[in-house]
């Protein structure tokens, strides 16, 4: 399927390593999209992309709010999305200026190109802005990030076909303009792939940490508490009475021994 061709660059060479996106995450997203795209696996890349653009629909519900996002992550997303919005506007202007009816080619090619241009324009004006809004609201949402990646992948395929036809049958300036926008889309797609890989790795680390914390909590809760056994048949213990403190006898004068003179008494005044 063309929407998962993360190993192709602008020239079609295999320069983008497929390891950018962890296999576990890609497999889960493949299963998620199999029902909608399973029958198009053998179709040409451009046809698949055109079908995707034609049936693209975005949920109107607001994206869920997640945990706090770092300033660096938000800045990266905002820069990427701002660049994408500028490229989208330029691409719409370039597509509007095309005069496909004047191209030197057969009617079937003109009709197919007009259909592709119409699909691209509707996607850039409706679907893409809403996906961008979802990702801007939740910068580290894996689903929204992957949705934007898929959309750019489909746009790249269909717009690449239009640019190729413009180069073959239209003015050189049209081909050059479309090629510039196509390169910009590809650059954004690469950045999204790298960000998606980093987010997936971060989520996997977070899941591993949560699993460790859960196991620790379960181990603590599994420890049996200390029990205190109370025998109801045992008679209650009598309170122990404290003995009164004994007072020491008063100090008396030392007794005299035989042969010892008693102490002299002081004469009365």
Cα(151)–Cα(123) distance, integer angstroms = 9
Task: Answer whether 194's CB lies under 8 Å from 188's CB.
Answer: no
Question: Which phi and psi angles does 249 have, rounded to 5°?
Answer: -65, 155
Q: pLDDT tens for residues 130-165?
A: 999 999 999 999 999 999 999 999 999 999 999 999
Indicate yes or no: pTM above 0.75: no
Q: pLDDT tens for residues 173-232?
A: 999 999 999 999 999 999 999 999 998 888 888 888 888 888 888 888 777 766 666 666
The domains of the chain, with CATH numbers, are 2-63+70-219 (1.20.1410)
**Of residues 245, 237, 156, 226, the one with CA closest to residue 192:** 156
């Amino acid at each position: 399927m063309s929407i998962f061709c993360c190993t192709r660059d602008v020239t079609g060479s295999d320069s983008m390593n497929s390891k950018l996106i962890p296999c576990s995450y890609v497999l889960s997203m493949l299963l998620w999209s199999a029902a909608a795209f399973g029958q198009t696996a053998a179709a040409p890349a451009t046809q698949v992309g055109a079908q995707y653009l034609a049936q693209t629909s975005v949920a109107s519900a607001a994206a869920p709010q997640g945990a706090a996002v770092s300033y660096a992550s938000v800045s990266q997303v905002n820069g990427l999305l701002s660049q994408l919005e500028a490229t989208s506007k330029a691409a719409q202007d370039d597509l509007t200026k095309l005069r496909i009816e004047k191209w030197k080619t057969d009617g079937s090619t003109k009709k197919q190109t007009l259909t592709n241009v119409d699909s691209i324009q509707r996607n850039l004006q409706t679907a893409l802005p809403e996906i961008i809004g979802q990702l801007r609201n939740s910068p580290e949402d894996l689903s929204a990030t992957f949705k934007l990646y898929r959309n750019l992948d489909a746009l790249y395929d269909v717009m690449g076909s239009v640019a190729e036809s413009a180069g073959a049958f239209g003015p050189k300036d049209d081909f050059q303009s479309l090629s510039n926008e196509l390169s910009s889309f590809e650059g954004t797609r690469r950045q999204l792939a790298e960000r998606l890989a980093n987010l997936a790795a971060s989520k996997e680390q977070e899941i591993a940490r949560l699993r460790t914390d859960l196991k620790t909590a379960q181990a603590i809760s599994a420890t049996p508490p200390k029990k205190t056994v109370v025998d109801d048949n045992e008679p209650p213990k009598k309170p122990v009475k404290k003995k009164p403190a004994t007072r020491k006898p008063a100090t008396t004068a030392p007794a005299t021994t035989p042969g010892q003179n008693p102490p002299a008494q002081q004469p009365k005044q």
